[in-house]
Amino acid sequence: MSDIRTLGEFIVEKQHDFPHASGELSSLLSSIKLAAKIVNREINKAGLVDITGAFGGENVQGEEQQKLDVYANDKFKAALEARDQVCGVASEEEDEAVSFNKELSQNAKYVVLMDPLDGSSNIDVNVSVGTIFSVYRRVSPVGTPATEEDFLQPGNQQVAAGYIIYGSSTMLVYTTGNGVHGFTYDPSLGVFCLSHESLQTPEDGRIYSINEGNYFRFPMGVKKYIKFCQENVPEDDRPYTSRYIGSLVSDFHRNLLKGGIYLYPSTATHPNGKLRLLYECNPMAFLIEQAGGKASDGVGRIMDIKPTELHQRVPFFVGSTNMVEKVEAFLAEFPDQD
């Protein structure tokens, strides 16, 4: 037991990596950790209680909300507001950013952006889902309500980002710009324990993750890349393999550990792609860069994009550096959409 390092202990140990936070990061991540445990409990009861299925409404993107989407959104929002380290949140499930009105909250330095339950439509079939979060220092004056400008910052201004994956085990993976660290939840102790310190993703990989059902709607460069993966065998004679779960957190987590690329390109029907820059792409880009990988919109670095709206969408290519650069090369060589 003496060798176990909990998430809380690890954050305190690494506090020197985040000197301007003076304990605030620990409190903020504790809020996320608490909400994750609550959501994890409900996910594990899915099928036994009335928590699965559609909620009956749509989010701002016109997508049908699942009951667990709404539940997770409420729990994470409440946990973040309770600790007074966050002045506001923006969520994929909310039309507008939410400014916390308590005086102590308005004195907070940080805002959080989140996808409270990525891949929630998979709950009914017992497939892994996740939560994605991103933390920024506010740009509005401390002591005032949070503004939309606090949330419309490029990803290179993130001070922390991470995800929780609810699967065969539950893991919390985060970065503050000093490496990527993973913690596995021990339900017998009720704590997240350090299981993956200083994660590094392979420079190259053999896994490509994309919904090939949309193949005929993809840009020509992406089609050429898929054909490249199908028809070429790398020098070590291990062929490329297609693995696609349909949950960004799950696909990203596997590729982070094993090496690979996740692709969600533009299509004829969605010329800007479908993934959200602020809630999905920026936090995953921060994580993969800290782990030695790369994230791109097919042309340039994801984290250098200046957002113009809360629910902005972008094409997304993320994973092992060599694989992302190969896709970029194909997109540059075949720029026209077919």
Rounded-to-integer distance, Cα 316 and Cα 286, Å: 13
Long-range contacts: 58-61, Cβ < 8 Å, 24+? 59/92, 59/93, 60/94, 60/95, 60/311, 61/92, 61/276, 61/311
Question: 136 labelled as ligand-binding?
Answer: no
Rounded-to-integer distance, Cα 133 and Cα 129, Å: 14
- Tokens representing 175 are 């970065």
Question: 237 labelled as ligand-binding?
Answer: no
Question: 120 labelled as ligand-binding?
Answer: yes
Question: 263 labelled as ligand-binding?
Answer: yes
CB atoms inside a 10 Å sphere around CB 98:
17
Question: 115 labelled as ligand-binding?
Answer: yes
The DSSP code sequence of 113-138 is EEEEEETGGGGGGT--EEEEEEEEE-
Question: 266 labelled as ligand-binding?
Answer: no
Question: 211 labelled as ligand-binding?
Answer: yes
**Radius of gyration of the chain, Cα coordinates, nearest whole angstrom:** 19
Question: 117 labelled as ligand-binding?
Answer: yes
Rounded-to-integer distance, Cα 296 and Cα 144, Å: 35
Question: 215 labelled as ligand-binding?
Answer: no
CB atoms inside a 10 Å sphere around CB 114:
29
Question: 198 labelled as ligand-binding?
Answer: no
What is the dihedral sign for C-alpha 237, 202, 279, 41?
A: positive
Question: 42 labelled as ligand-binding?
Answer: no
Phi/psi of residue 268, nearest 5 degrees: -60, -35
Question: 118 labelled as ligand-binding?
Answer: yes
Binding-site residues sit at 92, 115, 117-121, 211, 244, 262-264, 274, 280
| Annotated binding-site positions for substrate | 118-121, 211, 244, 262-264, 274
Q: Which residues are annotated as a binding site for Mg(2+)?
A: 92, 115, 117-118, 280
